[in-house]
Structure 1
Amino acid sequence: MALSKATFLITALRLAGKLPLRGAQLIGRFFGMISWVSRSQLRTVTEINLKICFPELTDEQRQRMARSSLRHTGQTMMEIPLIWEWPVERCLGLIREIEGEELLTEAKKDGRGLLLLAPHLGNWELTGLYFSSRYRMAALYSPPHIKEFEDYMVKVRGRMGSELVRGDRRGLARLITLLREGEVAGILPDQSPRGKGNAYAPFFGLEVRTMTLVSKLLQKSGAKPLMTYSERLKDGQGFRLVIRECEAGIDDDDPVVATSALNRSVENCVREAPEQYQWEYKRMRHRPPGELNPYKPGKVC
């Protein structure tokens, strides 16, 4: 059964991968509007997140942002097959401009490792492909439940030589080794981590569980951290790759200081293109014990 499901998913991705960018984005926007009109769970989560993170906006402004966010998330999902199936040169041709490239040059000039932090903003698959085409790179990932689909995903993501590393003890040791050797590693830093060993830090003013992995990697490797994302341009024109400095303190020994700096770094990027952030994700679901779960009214964490 798992194999047939994997076969179906891979076939669907390969068919979608034959679309042009404008066509894929148009379909993605349509799916986003269906989520909006049907008052789906995605819309509910998006509205909750925006109410928490942008209290200064009017209800009408947040509604517009929520509607736009669902359209952008739909586009991201329809763009992924293109990034996975198109020839690499065609994918990289979608990047029309790069902002902050001098930060890369500065970070690499002394031979230090480089830790790239790419939040769920814009098209993160294109971001990863760009850096794997430029550097020897390893990227942390969480394996899907279907083994055959994982094989496909690792193959397409690693076709430029990028090393896909599982988020377990062995994988983290591999990342540290590569960073110490002056190589590049990539992480999605805005997931809500499970288990112990993490910290609670403010994200858009709300205390949420935040990964301490980033600060630990930086402390053990001496690598330089940078934020990065690919912003979607209007009317199917492509993307703008953006590179930003991280907030001071992201490598601090105090986990609260470090995770607070990490969340501020993510927040700074999100505020530059808020409609393109994946607000449909329950980022705030893990809060300090006794605090209310914003997605389940009346239930405490």
Structure 2
Amino acid sequence: MSKRHKTGWRAKFSHGGARALIFGLWLLHWFPTPVLAFFGEVLGRLLWPLLKSRRRIVRTNLRLCFPEKSEAEREQLGREHFVFLVRSLLERCVLWFGSEARVRRLVHVEGDIQLAERTGAPIMWLLPHFVGMDYAAPALTLFQSRPAINIYQRQSNPVLDARLHKSRARFGNARLIERRSGIRPIVRAIQDGAGFVNLPDMDFGRFAEKDAVFVPFFGVQTATLASPARMVQSMKMRVQPMVITMLPRGRGYKVSFQDPPPGFDDPDPVVATAAFNRWLEARIREQPAQYYWVHRRFKTRPPGEPRLY
């Protein structure tokens, strides 16, 4: 088989796989949410011993962040995390295909969601990577009228990319900007009155080397994006974190709008970024199994330090 034909066959298979995945999620969305939660719990327990590479990442993260816990405690926390992670993936079908009324019933807003509308000031919603974070979008688009800017990563599979794009813009006034478009369209949208949903707690590898500073996170020097702190200072933005909590037995998602992290308004971006990490540590300790531990958060190391994964 020629390389050309082999590539074409793989592309067709990939498209077919994406369509099968989308169809499967469409079928799942007809089930009651408690049933989806049960499926997720069972599948999460089954996948923990099977997904070796992701399990290894979770174990490394938990060992670095919770050295005070025993190995057995961290292992149990990892298993619980897989349950929440798989639940969040299955329950995403409701966001993709469920009615607006059903999504509204699942979103439980806590805190001052009207801050952006009431003040009219440029606003940055800080959204850490808890596994239920996708339910931040309907909270912003269904329960308040300020346009919300979301950054999205284009998927290599065009079928899946189109479906993801459509699902993220289903409700309200969502503005999607592709990551590789850069900062200019984001700045223009903010100047036009939109709020900016910023996800500041990931390691972007080579990109992190340009825009990140090393500050403590659970006692580990961690490459953390400083651009959110710089943008807040340069554009005089209000800051409002959002913490998403998956409720038990498929009862929905609590979307908590919180006060700014103490110290995040410091003009020194390094000091402000360290303040954000301290705030995030405290939020993670409140619900440690729901943080996104499958991400290699400590991938980028200070010069001279060995790799952790």
How far has the Cα of 1:291 moved from its partner? 1.4
Q: Does 1:59 align with 2:71?
A: yes
Aligned 1:1-301 pairs, distance under 5 A: 1=11, 2-38=14-50, 40-95=52-107, 97-101=108-112, 104-133=113-142, 134-135=144-145, 136-160=147-171, 161-168=173-180, 170-194=181-205, 195=207, 196-295=210-309
How far has the Cα of 1:73 moved from its partner? 0.8
Deviation string for 1:29-72 (max 9, x for gaps)? 12211222336222222121111111222223222211111111
Name the aligned partner's letter for residue 72 of structure 2.
Answer: E
Name the aligned partner's letter for residue 210 of structure 1.
Answer: T
How many residues are matched?
291
Q: Hey, what's the Cα distance between the residues in 2 that align with 1:189 and 1:28?
A: 27
Q: Hey, what's the Cα distance between the residues in 2 that align with 1:35 and 1:5?
A: 20
* Runs of at least 5 residues in structure 1 that lack an aligned partner in the other structure: 296-301
Residue number in structure 1 paired with 2:7: none
How far has the Cα of 1:108 moved from its partner? 4.1
Q: Hey, what's the Cα distance between the residues in 1 that align with 2:265 and 2:163?
A: 34
Contact 2:109–2:139, Cα closer than 8 Å, also in 1:
no
Q: Hey, what's the Cα distance between the residues in 2 that align with 1:121 and 1:143?
A: 21
Q: Hey, what's the Cα distance between the residues in 1 that align with 2:159 and 2:259?
A: 38
TM-score under structure 2 length normalisation:
0.86
Deviation string for 1:58-98 (max 9, x for gaps)? 22322221111111111111111221111122112012x43
Residue number in structure 1 paired with 2:5: none
Cα 1:145–1:220 change in 2 (3 A) is: farther
Cα 1:245–1:41 change in 2 (3 A) is: same
Contact 2:232–2:238, Cα closer than 8 Å, also in 1:
yes
Name the aligned partner's letter for residue 275 of structure 1.
Answer: A
Q: Hey, what's the Cα distance between the residues in 1 that align with 2:117 and 2:291?
A: 28
Contact 1:113–1:181, Cα closer than 8 Å, also in 2:
no
SS of the equivalent of 2:78 reads: helix
Q: Hey, what's the Cα distance between the residues in 1 that align with 2:224 and 2:90?
A: 28
Contact 1:246–1:265, Cα closer than 8 Å, also in 2:
no
How far has the Cα of 1:122 moved from its partner? 4.0
Contact 1:115–1:179, Cα closer than 8 Å, also in 2:
no
Q: Hey, what's the Cα distance between the residues in 2 that align with 1:127 and 1:119?
A: 10
Q: Hey, what's the Cα distance between the residues in 1 that align with 2:265 and 2:155?
A: 30
TM-score under structure 1 length normalisation:
0.88
How far has the Cα of 1:243 moved from its partner? 1.7
Residue number in structure 2 paired with 1:299: none
Name the aligned partner's letter for residue 188 of structure 1.
Answer: L
How far has the Cα of 1:212 moved from its partner? 2.2
Residue number in structure 1 paired with 2:4: none
* Runs of at least 5 residues in structure 2 that lack an aligned partner in the other structure: 1-10
Identical-pair percentage: 26
What's the RMSD between the two structures over aligned residues?
2.1
Contact 2:38–2:249, Cα closer than 8 Å, also in 1:
no
Q: Hey, what's the Cα distance between the residues in 2 that align with 1:125 and 1:106?
A: 21
Cα 1:268–1:178 change in 2 (3 A) is: farther
